[in-house]
Structure 1
Amino acid sequence: FIIYTIIAPNVYMNVYSYEVTDTQIDVQRGLFIWYHTKIPLVKVQHVETLTGPVFRKFDLASVKIITAAGSVEIPALVQRDAEALREYIARLAEVDDEDE
């Protein structure tokens, strides 16, 4: 129980990072094997926030970015930050779509 509730979340959040630029979303995650994903904003179909009972208790949410090829999730953000990030990515993706 202690491993899953205290140790694992701290380790997981220390090995997960993301960056949103004007042209792409860059997500890196991993502990022993690193995964590095770059998503061009023109490929984003929609963005959603996810929250469950445990996340709601701690005022957390995840942002899920969906493309035609699949999806990437940015987990365990503060609810307000997750909503702001969702809106920011959606706004950038709309601007890029209109420019084409």
Structure 2
Amino acid sequence: MVVPLLIFLIFKKVNKRFYKITDDMLMVSKGLFETHHTYLEIFKVQNIKMKQNIFQERNKVADLILQTASGKIKIPSINFEDAIKIYNYTLFKVETSKISWM
């Protein structure tokens, strides 16, 4: 009885995770019972990391961690090519932005 419930909850949590990126904004959603949306203006990113463990490397996925003044936002297990594109685009937007983030 417990195993099917755990499988259902894990499946539901994985299906609720998504991200959407536009020219100026990044939206990351996650949750189990309710969905939490996080909106981030790309020019406010202070640090960006791309992490991959050996299992992710084999499956060609990576985690992106975006750090702002208010905390970290993680985009877990996205396609490696998409992760590189988002990484490069974010660096480009941060370096070329003339907007003050404070």
**TM, length-normalised to structure 2:** 0.77
- TM-aligned CA distance change 1:45 to 1:12, over 3 Å: same
**Whole-Å separation in 2 of the counterparts to 1:78 and 1:41:** 20
Runs (5+) with no aligned partner, structure 2: none
Matches within 5 A, 1:34-49: 34-49=35-50
Matches within 5 A, 1:66-77: 66-77=67-78
Structure label with greater radius of gyration: 2
SS at match of 1:33: coil
Greater strand share, 1 or 2? 1
Percent identity, aligned pairs only? 25
**Whole-Å separation in 2 of the counterparts to 1:45 and 1:27:** 17
Question: Number of matched residues?
Answer: 95
Matches within 5 A, 1:7-26: 8=10, 10-26=11-27
| CA displacement at 1:99 relative to structure 2 | 4.8
| CA displacement at 1:67 relative to structure 2 | 0.6
- TM-aligned CA distance change 1:99 to 1:69, over 3 Å: closer
Runs (5+) with no aligned partner, structure 1: none
What RMSD in Å do the two structures reach over aligned CA positions?
A: 2.2
**Whole-Å separation in 2 of the counterparts to 1:70 and 1:27:** 14
- Identify the residue that residue 79 of structure 1 maps to in structure 2: 80
8 Å CA contact 2:16–2:30 kept in 1: the answer is yes
**TM, length-normalised to structure 1:** 0.79
